[in-house]
Structure 1
Amino acid sequence: MATSLHCFNCNKELTFPGNVGRRDECPHCRSDVHVCKNCEHYDVKVYNECRETQADVVREKDRANFCDYFTPRKGANSAEDKKAALRAAAEALFKKK
């Protein structure tokens, strides 16, 4: 079963023939792929920036790690998309006529 996700660094779509390995790298920017910032559980608003309560503390969120709870994030960098959408909505709301 193929695994696909978007790189946290360059936002390009990546596809792997199986699970993402700890040593896998993005072929476009050479960033590690098995990192917190590419994980479904990554959330900057919660304790330890991880929604998985049993995961070990990882200090470097953009470096390869051994987390057993890693789940590839689906879709593009959602934080950037939300930020752009909120900005557009605010500009539309306060737009001078």
Structure 2
Amino acid sequence: MNTVHCHQCSKTTQLEHKVSFREECPHCGSDLHICLNCRFYDKAAYNECKEPSAERVGDKERNNYCEYFDPTEKGKKSGSLDRAEQLKKAEALFKKNF
């Protein structure tokens, strides 16, 4: 069973099959096979994708034919950190070791 979190309406959907290229969210009708719903999506990564073999996708909010698509199950957008995580990483980066 595949679980996918819809970027548009923030609802989670259970599918008995792999997310197809033209799959739509049953709650809001938005495309599900999009970069913003993929676990590899990361704004900070090259081409905004952590999968090095994936081809560049111009519109991250529209369905695409990426073979590496792997739906994210979490409510938080892929590649995003909450404020506490960001502060912790920044402190570690600038920490002085004498």
Decide: shared fold, TM above 0.5.
yes
Q: CA deviation at 1:77?
A: 2.3
Is the partner of 1:37 in helix, strand or coil? helix
- Aligned pair 1:34/2:2, yes or no? no
Q: TM-score, normalised by structure 2?
A: 0.78
Q: Does the CA contact (< 8 Å) of 2:12 and 2:73 recur in 1?
A: no
| 1:49 alignment partner AA | E
CA distance in 2, matches of 1:6, 1:42: 13
Name the structure 2 match of 1:16.
15
Q: TM-score, normalised by structure 1?
A: 0.78
Q: CA deviation at 1:5?
A: 1.7
Number of residue-to-residue matches in the alignment: 86
4+ aligned runs moved over 6 Å, structure 1:
none
Q: CA deviation at 1:60?
A: 0.5
- Aligned pair 1:67/2:61, yes or no? no
Higher helix content, 1 or 2: 1
RMSD, matched Cα: 2.2
Q: Does the CA contact (< 8 Å) of 1:22 and 1:65 recur in 2?
A: yes
Q: Does the CA contact (< 8 Å) of 1:5 and 1:76 recur in 2?
A: no
| 1:66 alignment partner AA | Y
Unaligned runs of 5+ in 1: 91-97
Unaligned runs of 5+ in 2: 88-98
Provide the identity percentage. 39
Name the structure 2 match of 1:76.
75
Name the structure 2 match of 1:4.
3
